[in-house]
Chains A and B, each alone.
Chain A
Amino acid sequence: MTTANSASAGASTKKTVVIRNKGALRIESLIVLALLVVVMSFASPFFFTLPNIFNVILATSTIGILALGATFVIGSAGIDLSVGSLLAFAGVVGAFSVAALGLPWWVAIFAALAAGTFAGWINGLVITYGHVPAFVVTLGMMGVARGVALLITDGQAIYGLPEPLIWLGQGRPFGIPVPAIVFLVMAVVLHLLLSYTRFGRHTLIIGDNERGARAMGVPVRSLRIKIYMLSGLMAGLAGLLTTARVNAGDPTAGMTFELSAITAAIIGGTNLFGGRATILGTVIGALIMGVLQNGLNLLAIPSFWQEISIGVVLVAAVWLDQFAKRQKE
């Protein structure tokens, strides 16, 4: 044991103010991403070009946005398996509101976001007040939301979206795809929320020690409900962008996306058992998956290898984490 060193404290204050939560970010994931980028750049002349970089971010944006929500959920020691279905549900609701009901284009934005948030609210209510495990509640919601999306559309995709909506999915101001911009902006906003506010701090604390948080007066229930609403909102946003990009409300969109979102968050260093999470890590995790996909495509390697490589990276990430933990002990 050493003595309290208040003398040297002043020097370190500055550093901790700059990067919050820095201990939680796993540097390994950044190294893996950098290595992948370098290898792919040498392997394919098309990889490290501006248009392709935008393509990677565009391809990553849907899973990435879902993963931002998953970061909060998993950080709070929860799980949300419904986001893939909510993506389809919200996308269908948005498309339905304009294509079938003939409402103005901007209504679709609110309708899709509200649909996702509402479903997340239901998830949160049943988890907190119904005392049903999150795994079960969101697994149920996964079926319900998918079923409702199919019911609304009678199993057919809804076509015919107005031009401004399509721009949300296909527009490229300054050459940058709109979904990529939305993903990066949301990442910055949620990074600030997670690392700088009481909401974010409490999210990680209930993931770390829920009973302790409650005893210290953290409003655990309302917090948990908000976390699932945030996850639902992100699914609604991803659904809106997906619908806009393919110009159709597809009730079968987003299948198994929840697993990819969880994968991205875990590769990025989110503790599956809660208490530790960073948005920067999740963005890196999602980009690792995006770069693998894009790079292997450019190299014309069969897509089966993408699944294999992502699976290996996921297990390796958690193995490394456990290995580092055991070394410390």
Chain B
Amino acid sequence: MLQITDVKKNFGPVEVLRGVSFGLDAGECVALVGDNGAGKSTLMKIITGVYTASSGEVTLADRSITGTAPGEIRELGIEMIYQSLELASQQDVTANIFLGREPTRKIMGFQTGVIDFKSARAQAEEMIEQLGARLPSVDIQVGNLSGGQQQSVAIARALTFSPKVVIMDEPTAALAVREIQHVLDLIKELKSRGIAVILISHRLTDVFEVADRIVALRQGVVIADERTEDTTMQDVVAHIVGAH
């Protein structure tokens, strides 16, 4: 589904990624682990098009997406849920779910930039209900929601346009225990629907519960790429900190 081949990235003289390769299949969850500064965020930003790789290639279903703009990459079916969520706090839930993809109305046969508020709101409501998220209303400003509720909005935004790949950056870091289980169940559900998931997480218990494979990144290279059942938490920790 998604294949990353020998991706390198340097910012001036600093080499952040020094040739990273791995892939994932439809319905597979790969956990990406590594210490701070290992290059996880940079790699994700390259996949989502926010950065362009210095060299190497990213392909989605055998089609190269290297150097494609973030909006187009979302169109192609790669969604990312950022740790910072990246919501517009003064906009309502519907506006955030459709951020960047507002449905528009035809007026007298012409495609316009006029937002179709009715259909956006109805779809947003449906999505929130499907997710079983507990929100008072889709008309509420996102800044007035709790952390867990905001997380739900970010997840709804990623899932509304039937993605092929979903990247989650520390989705459970800021959540209460009950909400964490909810996110993990959601990842399993996505897998069963054939969606590929990249999970970035420091919480190894979460990783071992949902991931099929674990890719460890250290100093810009893949130090290990193992099936979850073939490894242990001690091994993964050793990979992350480099204690070999």
- What is the interface of chain A, defined by CB distance below 8 A to chain B? 1-6, 9, 12-13, 16-17, 20, 23-24, 196-199, 201-202, 204-205, 208-209, 211-219, 271, 275-276, 328
A215 adjacent to B146 (CB under 8 Å): no
Contact with B114, one of A2, A13, A197, A205 (Cβ below 8 angstroms)? A197
Question: What's the Cα separation between A24 and B70 when bound, in Å?
Answer: 29
B118: A residues at CB distance < 8 A = 13, 17
Closest to B98 in A: A201
Counting CB contacts under 8 A, is B22 at the interface?
no
B69: A residues at CB distance < 8 A = 217, 219
Counting CB contacts under 8 A, is B95 at the interface?
yes
Question: What's the Cα separation between A6 and B134 when bound, in Å?
Answer: 11
A217: B residues at CB distance < 8 A = 69-75, 100-101
Contact with B100, one of A6, A204, A216 (Cβ below 8 angstroms)? A216
Contact with B88, one of A9, A24, A197, A205 (Cβ below 8 angstroms)? A205
Contact with A199, one of B88, B113, B128, B129 (Cβ below 8 angstroms)? B113
Q: A13-B118, A201-B95 are in contact. Are A271 and B90 (CB under 8 A)?
A: yes
Tell which of B23-31, B79-87, B204-212, B232-240 binds the partner.
Answer: B79-87
A6 adjacent to B129 (CB under 8 Å): yes
Counting CB contacts under 8 A, is B102 at the interface?
yes
A209: B residues at CB distance < 8 A = 86-89
Q: How many Å from the CB of B184 to the closest CB on chain A?
A: 20
A213: B residues at CB distance < 8 A = 88, 99-100
A24: B residues at CB distance < 8 A = 90
Cβ contacts A to B, 20 pairs, < 8 Å: A1-B136, A2-B134, A4-B133, A4-B135, A9-B125, A9-B138, A16-B117, A198-B113, A201-B91, A202-B100, A204-B88, A212-B85, A216-B70, A217-B71, A217-B72, A217-B101, A218-B71, A218-B100, A219-B69, A328-B144
Counting CB contacts under 8 A, is B66 at the interface?
no
Counting CB contacts under 8 A, is B21 at the interface?
no
B interface residues, how many (CB within 8 angstroms): 49
Q: A205-B88, A205-B99, A217-B74 are in contact. Are A2 and B115 (CB under 8 A)?
A: no
B86: A residues at CB distance < 8 A = 209, 211-212, 215-216
Question: What's the Cα separation between A294 and B189 when bound, in Å?
Answer: 65
Closest to A276 in B: B90
Interface 1/0 per residue, B156-188 and A, CB below 8 Å? 010000000000000000000000000000000
B149 adjacent to A1 (CB under 8 Å): yes
Contact with B91, one of A3, A198, A204 (Cβ below 8 angstroms)? A204
Contact with A2, one of B71, B87, B91, B136 (Cβ below 8 angstroms)? B136
Counting CB contacts under 8 A, is B137 at the interface?
yes
Closest to B74 in A: A217
B102: A residues at CB distance < 8 A = 198, 201
A214 adjacent to B91 (CB under 8 Å): no
Q: A4-B129, A16-B121, A209-B86 are in contact. Are A214 and B137 (CB under 8 A)?
A: no
B104: A residues at CB distance < 8 A = 198
Question: In the complex, given contacts A202-B100, A204-B91, A217-B101, what are 16 additional A-B residue pairs having Cβ atoms less than 8 angstroms apart?
Answer: A5-B136, A12-B137, A20-B117, A196-B114, A205-B91, A205-B99, A208-B89, A208-B91, A212-B87, A212-B99, A213-B88, A217-B70, A217-B71, A218-B99, A275-B89, A275-B91
Contact with B121, one of A13, A23, A215, A216 (Cβ below 8 angstroms)? A13
B141 adjacent to A23 (CB under 8 Å): yes
Closest to B137 in A: A5
Question: What's the Cα separation between A219 and B136 when bound, in Å?
Answer: 31
Q: How many Å from the CB of A212 to the closest CB on chain B?
A: 3
Question: What's the Cα separation between A77 and B90 when bound, in Å?
Answer: 13
Counting CB contacts under 8 A, is B15 at the interface?
no
| Residue among B82, B135, B137 with most chain A CB within 10 A | B137
| Residue among A17, A201, A204, A211 with most chain B CB within 10 A | A201
A196: B residues at CB distance < 8 A = 114-115
Q: A214-B70, A217-B69 are in contact. Are A204 and B90 (CB under 8 A)?
A: yes
Q: How many Å from the CB of B86 to the closest CB on chain A?
A: 3
B113 adjacent to A215 (CB under 8 Å): no
B117: A residues at CB distance < 8 A = 16-17, 20
Question: What's the Cα separation between A213 and B75 when bound, in Å?
Answer: 15
A20: B residues at CB distance < 8 A = 117
Q: How many Å from the CB of A162 to the closest CB on chain B?
A: 37
Residues 100-137 of B at the A interface (beta carbon under 8 Å): 100-102, 104, 112-115, 117-118, 121-122, 125, 128-129, 133-137
A202: B residues at CB distance < 8 A = 100
Question: What's the Cα separation between A218 and B100 when bound, in Å?
Answer: 5
B138: A residues at CB distance < 8 A = 9
Closest to A20 in B: B117
Contact with A275, one of B82, B88, B128 (Cβ below 8 angstroms)? B88
